[in-house]
Amino acid sequence: MPHRLPQADLLATLDTEAARLALEADRVLPSDPVPTCPGWTVRDLVTHIGGVHRWAAAIVTQRRTAPTDDVDEFFEAPDDDDGLLPWFVDGSSTLIRTLRAAPDDLSAFVFLKNAPPAKTFWTRRQAHETTIHRVDAQSTRLGRMPTTAEAGIPTPLAVDGLDELLTGFVPRRSSRLRTDEPFRTVVAATDAPAAWTVSVSADPPVVVEGEDPAAHSRLTGTAAALYLGLWNRGDDVAEFGTVDLLGHWREQVRVTWA
């Protein structure tokens, strides 16, 4: 698929972003608020991502073929502040080792539309989960949402993340992106040959690769700006046309991790 990074690149991203997240979290206090996640402290953020890493590692290791509601054990971070980051690093390291050792033909639960094979799916999902939450940790240090330049998202990673978000998350039946008056919007990167057309109606959204010249509006920006903007972590995007997709998105889209 032209917009998808190879497994090795996704695994390298996960490794790099986990280290960056730990570094950002180490530069602030666990009790500090996270500007991009209202109501969360750094402890909440690190506990969340550390638990998600453990949950994903368990699915891959145990080759689970269905989700489970019994996930509390994965989110049991140490109460003492000194133990929080070592606990996070242990979980991310375990996840990386687990994904590296997993067979290419792994059979395991996945939860997105248009999902790649399970090993790539979990590597990809955790690479982006970790990248976005690293940006959240960075926002605590800065005291505000990082700019696109400050976030430092490589263009190929951003394109891959947009593809996952738009073709994987958005078309799910649980998607709240709906409207009584149907419209189509093109989401197009200005620094890469990557575009998608999002059709919104009273039914689950339909997303196809490419640009529909008859679309009602167009959302543009660098791939990194679009990536951050559609994850509700940035405003460096522009929209043209008669329909405000971004407005609908901000009101209706709240991506969850499962």
- For 137-203, the DSSP string reads HHHHHHTSPPPHHHHT--HHHHHHHHHHIIIIITTSTT-----SS-EEEEEEESSSS-EEEEEESSS
In order along its 258 residues, the chain shows pLDDT tens digits of: 678 999 999 999 999 999 999 999 999 999 999 999 999 999 999 999 999 999 999 999 999 988 877 899 999 999 999 999 999 999 999 999 999 999 999 999 999 988 999 999 999 999 999 999 999 999 999 999 999 999 999 999 999 999 999 999 999 998 889 999 999 999 999 999 999 999 999 999 999 999 999 999 999 999 999 999 999 999 899 999 988 888 888 887 766 544
Select from 53, 56, 32 the least CA-distant residue to 44: 32
Q: What pLDDT is attached to residue 249?
A: 84
How many residues are given for the chain?
A: 258
d(CA 121, CA 131): 15
Burial of 175 (0-12, 13-18, 19+ CB in 10 A): middle
The verdict on residue 152 lying in a domain is no
Task: Indicate whether 52 and 95 sit together in one domain.
Answer: yes
Q: At what angle do helices 81-101 and 7-26 cross, to 10 degrees?
A: 180
Residue 1 lies in a domain: no
* 8-state DSSP, 114: T
CA distance 163 to 195: 9
The SS3 call for residue 189 is: strand
Residue 246: the pLDDT is 82
Q: What pLDDT is attached to residue 245?
A: 80
Asked if residue 44 and residue 138 are part of one domain, the reply reads: yes
Strand ranges (DSSP E) for 143-205? Answer: 183-189, 195-200
1/31 Cα distance (integer angstroms): 42
Give the pLDDT of residue 1.
Answer: 61
Which amino acid does the sequence have at 169?
F
Same domain, 51 and 111: yes
CATH number for the domain harbouring residue 223:
3.30.1050.10
**CB-neighbour burial class of residue 107 (10 A; exposed 0-12, middle 13-18, buried 19+):** exposed
- pLDDT, residue 257, reads 44
What is the number of structural domains in the chain?
A: 2
Same domain? 132 vs 172: no
Residue 122 belongs to domain spanning: 7-146
pLDDT for res 70: 81
Same domain for 116 and 171? no
Note whether 14 and 138 are same-domain residues: yes
In this structure, the dihedral spanned by the alpha carbons of residues 39, 41, 42 and 46, taken in order and rounded to 10 degrees, is -70
Are residues 140 and 198 both part of a single domain? no
CA distances from 132 to 123, 174, 186, 228, 247 (A): 14, 21, 23, 8, 21
Q: Which residues, in sequence order, are bridge partners of residue 4?
A: none
Position 44: which residue type? Answer: D
